[in-house]
Amino acid sequence: MDIDSAKKRIEELREIIEYHNQKYYVEDNPEISDFEYDIMLRELEELERQFPELLTPDSPTQRVGGKPLKEFETVIHEVPMQSLTDVFNENELYEFDNRVRTALGFQPVEYVVEVKIDGLSVSLEYENGVFVRGSTRGDGITGEDVTQNLKTIRTIPLRLKENIPYLEVRGEVFISRDDFIKLNDKREALEQPLFANPRNAAAGSLRQLDPKITARRPLDIYVFNIQQVRGRQFNTHVETLDYLKSQGFKVIPTYNVFNDIKQVYKEIMRLGEERGMLPFEIDGAVVKVNMLAQREELGSTSKSPRWAVAYKFPAEKKETKIKEIFVQVGRTGALTPNAVLEPVRLAGTTVSRATLHNIDYIRQKDIRVGDTVLVQKAGDIIPEVVEVVFEKRKGDEKEFFMPETCPVCGAQVVREEGEAVTRCTGIECPAQLLRNIIHFASRDAMGIDGLGPAIIEQLLDRNLIKGAADLYYLNFEDVKNMDRMGEKSARNLLDAIDKSKERDLKNVIYALGIRHIGQRAAALLADHFGSMDRLMQAPVEEIVQIHEIGEKMAKSVVNFFKQEQTKDTIEKLRKAGVNLSKLATNDSADNRFKGYTFVLTGTLEKYTRNEATSIIEKYGGKVTSSVSKKTTFVLAGEEAGSKLDKAKKLGIKIINEQEFEKMINQ
């Protein structure tokens, strides 16, 4: 294909792809399958690879492009991104209306009422119809350039339908309720910290220095204001919203016009009643003067416009009764008590359940079955019990106790000293299977290439596996027929599973996910006992004799191997041919780091922490987490913190990554 033909086809593909982006992400009305869309996108990527001179910043292929940044550039907002004055009741709203009408000489005034989405405010700038820059609000005057991250949000058009000279719009980046729950479910399965609420999740996702991380987060946006425009004239705010919608923007979903402040208040109350049914979080309603000329006349203070206010909804509390308390088991094995309530209308939805967090929370508030309580649904998705209405207690309420065995699988539950959470110890517990198998297959455990969370979820959903050991009994035909697999992918996956049978005992021990047993401890246990059978029979007294293994870790090991589910898993692994013994080592192995203790700090370019640790241990060295006088070397990468400072004070030798490579390559 010559360059002219390529250019024509590229332009055609970009137009078609952006059309279907609009249909799928903005209008929620897809016209083609994901497969057809992916084929077109792949063709475009290939053409741009062959003809790099035809690649442009507004191409759909650039939504997940860009290298990780060391830091965000500063952006000065030409038009300040001001915050709104808050009002909290009907009287304060009427006072706002009186100020507006007085300042305008009692002209007729129209107000637009919009939902106030609880997200992160951003500015989007377009030159000649092309998206050129996106930034956070910051302090209203100075923000951060997050252009590459914003490009990953598919509801942001990279090119407008009209070639307008300049346009700056303001919008709110957010994560929907459903996507927030799914995001936290995945983070819990991967043992990552959970986000407190959708707003925190959106803000944290948008401010990632690596756009590829942002692209994996379910960010969305609603645009609600034109900040600046050249080449167009508008008379009202509603006209600007209609124009933005015509240009492919996802515009704020609810905006109605009223000329009476009492109607405005009625609309705000309606939104407050219905907010629980919206797919996204809102924390109020925004009231704006509709006529742009009147806005100019009203002007702004140094902090806020005089032509708009935000009506903030209070955290609504309602009284109800606890009918019973049941325990839910999460993906990490955490047991969470939940209250079954007499149904009550709260923030627009009917609430019949509420979280009680943990047993300490229950004891602290003295919550009992049969109590009358106050529940609220504030910034979080899940309602919670706030307090007991003690004056309504009758005396027949029942105290709640956490179960001694898991309500899902029957395994023993433990609550360790210093922790608020009670956990299930069952390795085959259905509630935590996804998390357990993800860990089992990970690179530092059984190292099963190609077995990611999405495939594991499919295997579980199709009942092809009920535990990690079942991976070794998978049928080729079943795997081949899974979504997006096929014969070659299925064969590669089964080969990787088969290859993992040869892993060392230390990998198998680590893969089992024994609480408090990381890679280092797993290696120490493997070295000492030499086989899984000996380890399973070992008492606490013998395990604590191993240097670096404490009593807490030893008890965790013994309790783990007492469980019938553990014994069942080990037996399945044995029958499948998985190695359960320490592999023979070469006596003449290179022990150049023997007697050396390393501490790792900061970010290394070439190695992950686990990879560097494996190399050190391979050569007979030891890695610890804290710097002391016994430390031999501190291996410091970028952004090294307090460990580096402590090493300098103690006179410990500090090496960089290049020096470390010399040590292992000499």
Measured N-to-C along each axis, helices 433-441 and 453-461 cross at an angle, to the nearest 10 degrees, of 130
Question: How far is residue 320 from each of residues 171, 340, 375, 396, measured CA to CA in Å?
Answer: 38, 10, 7, 17
Residue recorded with tokens 């580096």: 644
Neighbours of 128 (CB within 10 A): 13
How far apart are alpha carbons 524 and 543 in whole angstroms? 10
- Residue 189's contacts (CB-CB under 8 Å, 6 or more residues apart) are 331, 332, 434, 435, 438, 453
* Angle, vertex CA 241, rays to CA 238 and CA 247, nearest 5: 145
Catalytic: 116?
yes
Give the 3-state secondary structure of residue 373. strand
DSSP H or E segment with residue 522: helix 519-529
From 375, 376, 506, 510, select the one nearest 441 (Cα to Cα).
510
Integer angstrom CA distances of residue 43 from 6, 50, 66, 379? 11, 11, 20, 44
Residues 161 and 139: their CA atoms lie apart, in Å, by: 32
Residue appearing with tokens 């064969």: 491
Q: Which of 7, 116, 212, 262 is an active site residue? A: 116
Burial of 660 (0-12, 13-18, 19+ CB in 10 A): buried
**Rounded Cα distance, 468 and 427, in Å:** 9
Cα(529)–Cα(538) distance, rounded to whole angstroms? 9
H or E element at residue 653: strand 653-655
Q: Tell me the C-alpha distance between 511 and 109, whole Å.
A: 67
d(CA 144, CA 580): 53
**Helices and strands counted in the chain (H then E):** 24, 22
Phi, psi angle pair for 616, to nearest 5°: -60, -45
Residues known to be catalytic: 116
